[in-house]
């Protein structure tokens, strides 16, 4: 199975076409590989790191950049089961990251240090969803 790890060009263009000045909240659903898969020639290629270990390296190296652009984790939860959706959907990480603006998110993903860190994410992740949302008021009812 081929998973969704990085955005397609069309998805990234759609993201950039939205208002870049509004706060940006990103729902993250992440499924990890059993064994990390680094590209040929990378220092970690051929290592015995698990997907979880590679994802921790991603967090260690990308965390300072995330903080520098004003990012914060708004919510994190531990996956239990999918009630509505494809059978077999299981996620190792479920969280909402908030950036002060979409500009901040773009600054993070284009930062040269982040470009080195994201290789650990790419090696670690089997499948993921990254869904951009705009903040909205909470309420007592749906709609």
Query: Read out DSSP for 79-100?
Result: ----SSS-TT---SEEEEEEES
pLDDT at position 17, please? 95
Residues belonging to the chain? 143
The correct answer on CATH 3.30.70.100 for the domain covering 20-133 is: yes
- Which of the four pLDDT bands, split at 50, 70 and 90, describes residue 47? confident
44 has pLDDT over 90: no
Query: What 3-state DSSP class applies to 72?
Result: strand
Angle formed by the axes of helices 102-110 and 9-17, nearest 10°: 140
pLDDT tens, 17-29?
A: 999 999 999 999 9
- The Cα-based distances of 50 to 54, 80, 115, 123 in angstroms read 6, 22, 21, 9
- The answer on pLDDT for 13 being more than 80 is yes
Residue 2 has pLDDT above 80, yes or no: no
**What value does the mean pLDDT take over residues 84-113?**
96
For residues 114-142, average pLDDT:
93
Lowest mean pLDDT among 9-13, 43-47, 136-140: 43-47
SS3 29: strand
Q: Model-level pTM?
A: 0.91
Mean pLDDT score, 13-20:
95
Beta strands 24-32 and 93-99 are antiparallel
List, in order, residues 6 or more apart from 44 with CB less than 8 Å away.
36, 38, 54, 120, 123
- Hey, where are the domains in the chain? 20-133
């Amino acid at each position: 199975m081929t998973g969704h790890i990085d955005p397609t060009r069309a998805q990234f263009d759609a993201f950039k076409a939205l208002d870049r000045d509004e706060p940006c909240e990103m729902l993250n659903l992440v499924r990890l590989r059993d064994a990390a898969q680094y590209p040929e020639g990378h220092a970690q290629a051929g290592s015995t790191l698990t997907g979880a270990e590679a994802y921790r390296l991603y967090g260690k190296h990308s965390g300072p950049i995330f903080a520098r652009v004003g990012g914060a984790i708004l919510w994190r939860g531990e996956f239990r089961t999918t009630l509505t959706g494809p059978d077999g959907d299981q996620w190792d990480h479920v969280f909402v990251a908030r950036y002060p603006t979409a500009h901040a998110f773009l600054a993070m993903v284009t930062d040269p240090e982040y470009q080195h860190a994201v290789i650990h994410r790419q090696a670690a992740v089997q499948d993921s969803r990254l869904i951009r949302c705009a903040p909205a008021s909470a309420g007592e009812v749906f709609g």
